[in-house]
A and B are shown apart, each in its own frame.
Chain A
Amino acid sequence: MRTMAIVRRVFKQMLRDKRTLALMFLAPLLIMTLMYFLFQNNTTQVASLGVHHVDQSVVNVIDTKNVTIHHYDSSQARKMIKQHDLDGYLTQKNGQLMITYSNSNPTNTSLIKASLQSGLVKLKMKTLVTVTKKQRAALESQQAALKKLTAAQTQATVTKLKTAIAQAQARGDQATAEKLQKQLKQATATTSSSTQSAKATSYTTKSHYIYGSSDSTFFESFLPAFLGFFVFFFVFLISGVSLLNERTTGTLSRLLATPIRRSEIIMGYLIGYGGFAIIQTVLTVVFTITVFKIHLVGSIWLVFLTNLLLALVALTLGIFISTFANSEFQMIQFIPLIVVPQIFFAGLVPVDGMASWLQAIAHIMPLYYGANAMTAVVTKGAGLGDIGVNLLILVGFMVVLTMLNIVGMKRYRKV
């Protein structure tokens, strides 16, 4: 009853604060859209490579759509790169290729690197193929000679056996004749099997993707982590600031001068702001799936559930942190301290590869569990059983923080 009075109040206040509503519902969509376009077109980047005295066959294979080739007459790579604003310079001394990178733009460096590498592999393959072709021709002529030989041999055996059979039959030795007949059959059989010679097998690659598709981008693989992060960030901020306001304007202690339980206030906040968090989650998830055509492997309900739990943790954390702030400005100061580091442990950098003390930090970050679960559901189709532990840990965070919040309000009233 009293809890619902708080919930109604939270709803009314939020609905009247159009700016905050817009921040909560539209800002995540805006940022996601921006990210979508930022990470989409990373293949159109072109690096410029200067070449000097390099075999045409090499140049041909390096010349891809990501690298443009310019021919120069100087072997001074450093000078030429500076003069012509190139990303790399390739020279050749006998069989030795020398590449110099400007490396002012690491992306272009890696473009050239990749082009060079794949080009050289292609080149190697080509020579390998010509060699193999020659080998095959030799092999085939050998085989033909061999075949002739075996055929002649078989012929000889067959005639020999046939005469032996005739002799045996003439002698009336039925048993020997049958045995020889069997041998004859075997001899003719071997000739036919040896004709199945090795046909030239040309390998083609067909790629299959277990998760996502060939046009999976950076955006798509990290989307679940970002989805979790945005919900976390905005809910943290809004709930934290609103409780802070309640504290600084004195309404919190005024509330505590009524018979309301401390837990009823916290529950009212959880339900009230939790409601908005649900709307935000649904809006963001549905938007990304329909507009960006994200390939969602797992259940959308699990995505909602994970996001909601994450939002509730953010809510309780925001309320908790707000007790250490005395103004909105101080609340903002906690964002780089508490919220931003979480994104590093959300899966953008693989946690398994981190130093052990960093891994320990990861395990106290709610977003680590939330984003992991989200990524597993979205990209691998993980079920409730797979992410259950993560969800339970999130519930644990929420319960502990809620308890702390309820105890923390003892500052204003002892009961």
Chain B
Amino acid sequence: MATDYVIAKQVSKHFGHQQVLNQIDLTLPAGMIYGLIGPSGAGKTTLIKSILGMEAVDSGTVKVMDTVMPNRAVMAQVGYMAQSDALYETLTARENLTLFGQLMSVPKIKLAQMIDYAAGLVDLTSQLDKRVSGYSGGMKRRLSLAIALIQDPQLLILDEPTVGIDPELRQQIWTELNKLKDTGKSMLVTTHVMDEAERCDYLMLIRHGIALAEGTPAALKQQYAVDTIEQVFLKAGRMQDANDGNR
């Protein structure tokens, strides 16, 4: 059953006079890690929130799991990690995980097991009963990732998941993401780390709300005739600025 988990068509969005998303098309099939790259303020977070139905779009449609967004029921099948950690600081990590597990309708008998799994994945098992207020920045980030994984969702939408996480743990997380992909799950990931971008199956480069380029990392490198994604990033940006200057 190879369906598309996310189908976004012609999504546009503006804040005030600023066009933040300009007719973006995005299709995320099952079993794929989809990377969103682009400079700061490009509109990556806005696109993700639009897909989740948390941001009202001006035009265009978004379907997740064949359901037009926004839709409450679909939320249970999406694991979301926001760019900024949104955690209850006075609660312990376990209590945070329990709360979101309950909200995601994880069955009671499975919940403890899922907490162990998610915490183990981000290496927080020994710190589970510590209050979040005593966590470091990276620990909070890891806990946010664990929360996104708590209901074992088919689709993961991760907004800069590895910021503030050390290289070793980052390797571990990417290995796990690949494992999840192999079980048919899909991930939509934003990142500013180019070696992470290289690990994605498919990339979209957004700049000024426009989808400048998309394709597999190899195809992009070929298209721009460069060796690294970083160079794709820079070259595409320069070309866009030059075009804008011509206009």
Binding site for B on A (CB under 8 A): 1-2, 5, 8-9, 12-13, 16-17, 249-251, 253-261, 412-415
Specify the chain A residue showing the minimal Cβ separation from B87.
A251
Of chain B, the residue at the smallest CB distance from A16 is B90
**A412 to B54, Cβ gap below 8 A?**
yes
Is B80's beta carbon under 8 Å from chain A? yes
Q: Are A413 and B86 in contact (CB under 8 A)?
A: no
Instruction: Give, as a whole number of angstroms, the nearest-CB distance from B37 to chain A.
Output: 23
State how many angstroms separate the Cβ of A276 from the closest Cβ of chain B: 15
Which of A2, A250, A259, A260 has a CB less than 8 Å from the CB of B86?
Answer: A250
Query: Is B174 an interface residue when CB atoms closer than 8 A count as contact?
Result: no
Task: Say yes or no: B102 contacts A2, CB within 8 Å.
Answer: yes
A253 and B80 CA atoms in complex are apart in Å by 11
Most buried by B among A8, A249, A259, A260: A259
Q: Considering residues B72, B76, B86, B103, which has the most beta carbons from chain A within 10 angstroms of its beta carbon?
A: B103
Beyond A250-B82, A254-B86, A259-B105, 16 additional pairs, beta carbon < 8 A: A1-B105, A2-B102, A2-B105, A5-B102, A5-B103, A9-B91, A9-B95, A12-B91, A12-B95, A13-B90, A250-B84, A257-B52, A257-B78, A259-B73, A261-B72, A415-B71
CB <8 Å contact, A257 and B80: yes
Closest B residue to A9 by beta carbon equals B99
Q: Is B39 an interface residue (CB 8 A)?
A: no
Q: How large is the interface on B (under 10, 10 to 19, 20 to 34, 35 or more residues)?
A: 20 to 34
Determine which of B87, B88, B100 lies in contact with A258 in the assembled complex, contact meaning CB atoms within 8 Å: B100
Most buried by B among A16, A256, A258: A258
Residues in chain A near residue B104, CB distance under 8 A: 258-259
- B90-139 at interface with A (beta carbon < 8 Å): 90-91, 95, 99-100, 102-105
**A250-B86, A259-B75 given; A415·B53 CB < 8 A:** yes
Give the complex CA separation of A35 and B104 in angstroms: 49
Q: How far is the CA of A16 from the CA of B134 in the complex (A)?
A: 14
A-side contacts of B212, CB under 8 Å: none
Cα–Cα, bound, A250→B99 (Å): 15
Chain A residues closer than 8 Å to B87, beta-carbon distance: 249, 251
Question: Could you say which of B70, B73, B90, B91 contacts A413, with CB atoms under 8 Å apart?
Answer: B70
- The interface residues of chain A lying within 8 Å CB-to-CB of B78 are 257
A265 to B132, CA, bound (A): 22
Q: Distance (Å) between the CB of A86 and the closest chain B CB?
A: 60
A8–B100 Cα distance when bound, in Å, is 12
Whether a CB of chain A sits under 8 angstroms from the CB of B56 is yes
B99 touches A259 (CB 8 A): no
